[in-house]
Amino acid sequence: MTTIDDEPKSAGKAGAPTTGVDGRSPVRGRWLPGWRRLVAGLLAGAFLAGSMPPREAWYLAPAGAVVLTWSVLSLPWRQRLALGAATGLAFFLPTLSWLTGFHPAGFGALLVVEVVLFAAAMLLVDPRRTRWWTVPLALIALEAVRARFPFGGFPIPGMALGQLDGPFAAAAPLGGSLLVVGLSTGVGAAVTGVAVAGRRVGTLVSVAVLVAVSAVGVLLAAPGGEPTGSLRAALVQGGGPRGIPAVVSDADAVTERQFLLSEDLPPDLDLVLWPESSLGVSGPVADTREATRVAQLARRTGATVVVGLSESYVDGFRNAAVAWGPEGRIVDRYEKVHRVPFGEYIPARTLFESVSDMTSLVPRDAIPGSGPGLLRTPAGPLGVVISYEVFFSDRVRAAVAAGGHVLLVPTNAASYTTEEVPATEVAAARMRALEFDRAVLQAAPTGYTAIVQPDGLVMEQSGLSSAEVLTASVPLRSGLTMYARTGDGPLLTVVVLALLVGPLMRLLHLHRVRKRNGPAVRLVGRVPGRPA
């Protein structure tokens, strides 16, 4: 009588000893995968963390995937869950540590959520040794969820942001950051797959398919947009101290530093960009003294001036990018749509006010805007995302689809004392430039201010805390990349279908065997009546 044993050897009876990938490391217990695998999982997380900005060790992510795949294959689901938690802890603990200076309790809560998500992603891995390719698929799914959950997503750090100086970033115009994650970790997983599964035909075919798809993808990823001219821009970074939360910062001092540094701007400018929170006013900005001064700046330079500002109202505040034309009149504005949870608004504010002092850092909620980020100005159609929005490709995609020929990112990372957040924002700007074939102009009051070419290379970048003006002529481009046309939908569909292939094939196989052999077939890995 035919038997069925599709589970790996380590996934035997609950509580029984399990066998490692090398066949020599017995693992006891239902939950813990053994010290060798736990150490490997921690090492994998450390490798992934080491590839994140501001570090530039992109090769550590594929190395992390090698170790993670080795450690997770052949484990039952409980042990994959525990291993995923260990890897997630090693990944997120160092890369989210900058939050401790902002709010320790918030850091702890977010760390728990992110570790749980990483652990849950490992449940998507098929433990059979020939299914090594489910590891990068699980990591793609993890990044897709993190970009959307909790509270609209918190994709910091994003695994793709460590790949900007490596070869896999070339696929961004085709499938965005998720495809970059899949390729960079897929290469590492393939190395492990060949090592542990041997030269089986299925394994070799899978590796060959990965290589072929990667090669074709790089060719298809070449942007097909058209140049529409150039834009001479000046980005003004007023400088000043860092590590000061916005609610206690001296808003007037920030504004005065911006005006002071703008007095000697070079001639023949098309655009002047000021950072987020350059102005702080009560009510609509149009009727304020600050607006009059910005109008004078626009007339003096003969350029479009885009200013990031905050307008206070009784029911909250508006975080906006407002454009003044060369004649000194406001010509357009965009209000931030994707707000920062616990930074610009408090979800379930009443509940959190009763259990935490976190609301003291966010006394009022930002009023969300709507629509795509597009400023129609005499300098041309300017795409814009404000600060945190640069981490979300859907906001940039909306701006580009609406007609933006360049992308502006007024931002403010002055609240943070370390380099992590400013460097990560620059990395996100570079990824968005690659995905959408647009130059990106990012201005921050205390850095980093950066000018990024459409190919993701940084033309100029400021220091931290210093007062600087960056100037450059950047290309204006039209047209849409493949990723701008499709978004994440096609890739996520492929991932879901691929992850379902194993379970569906197994169910089909079970059905066929049961139909052929009748109900006497037992699914315990042996023939009834014979010794185990």
Are residues 158 and 34 part of one domain? yes
CB 85 within 8 Å of CB 211: no
Is 531 a domain residue?
Answer: no
What span, in angstroms and rounded, lies between the C-alpha atoms of 381 and 26?
63
Is 2 a domain residue?
Answer: no
- In sequence order, the 6+-apart residues with CB closer than 8 A to the CB of 459 are 451, 452, 453, 472, 474
DSSP secondary structure string for all residues of 497-509: HHHHHHHHHHHHH
Are residues 20 and 53 part of one domain? yes
Are residues 150 and 181 part of one domain? yes
Q: Closest Cα to residue 390, out of 399, 380, 377, 402?
A: 399
CA 144 remoteness from chain centre: 9
Token output for 228: 């529409």
CB 462 within 8 Å of CB 449: yes
**pTM score, whole prediction:** 0.89
Is 530 a domain residue?
Answer: no
CB 476 within 8 Å of CB 230: yes
Are residues 503 and 464 part of one domain? no
Are residues 470 and 458 part of one domain? yes
CB 347 within 8 Å of CB 313: no
Phi and psi of 67, rounded to 5°?
-70, -40
Q: Is the pLDDT of residue 20 over 60?
A: no
Is 167 a domain residue?
Answer: yes
Are residues 114 and 31 part of one domain? yes
pLDDT band at 247 (very low <50, low <70, confident <90, very high): confident
Q: What is the domain extent for residue 286?
A: 228-335+368-485
Instruction: Give pLDDT tens digits for 371-408.
Output: 999 999 999 999 999 999 999 999 999 999 999 999 99
Is 207 a domain residue?
Answer: yes
User: What angle in degrees, to the nearest 10, is found between the helix axes of 35-50 and 60-72?
Assistant: 160
Mean pLDDT of 118-146: 95
CB 333 within 8 Å of CB 361: no
Are residues 237 and 143 part of one domain? no
Are residues 195 and 74 part of one domain? yes
Instruction: Give pLDDT tens digits for 168-210.
Output: 999 999 999 999 999 999 999 999 988 886 656 566 666 666 6
Q: Is the pLDDT of residue 34 over 60?
A: yes
Token output for 70: 């080795």
Are residues 196 and 114 part of one domain? yes
Q: Is the pLDDT of residue 531 over 70?
A: no
What percent of the chain has pLDDT above 70? 85
Are residues 300 and 214 part of one domain? no
Q: Is the pLDDT of residue 88 over 50?
A: yes
Mean pLDDT of 44-58: 96
Q: Is the pLDDT of residue 462 over 90?
A: yes
* Beta carbons within 10 angstroms of residue 330's beta carbon: 18
What span, in angstroms and rounded, lies between the C-alpha atoms of 454 and 444?
20
Predicted pLDDT of residue 349: 80
What span, in angstroms and rounded, lies between the C-alpha atoms of 90 and 85?
9
Residue type, 460: E
CB 528 within 8 Å of CB 3: no
Are residues 242 and 188 part of one domain? no
Cα angle vertex 110, ends 105, 111, to 5°?
95
Q: Is the pLDDT of residue 364 over 80?
A: yes
Token output for 451: 């000018």
Are residues 29 and 18 part of one domain? yes
**How much is the mean pLDDT over the chain?**
88
Among 80-84, 167-171, 358-362, 380-384, which stretch is predicted with the lowest mean pLDDT?
A: 358-362
Instruction: Give pLDDT tens digits for 298-344.
Output: 999 999 999 999 999 999 999 999 999 999 999 999 999 999 998 89
What span, in angstroms and rounded, lies between the C-alpha atoms of 463 and 448?
6
H helices within 51-158, ranges in order? Answer: 60-72, 77-95, 104-121, 134-146
What span, in angstroms and rounded, lies between the C-alpha atoms of 269 and 231?
8
At 226, which helix (H) or strand (E)?
strand 226-237
Burial of 504 (0-12, 13-18, 19+ CB in 10 A): exposed
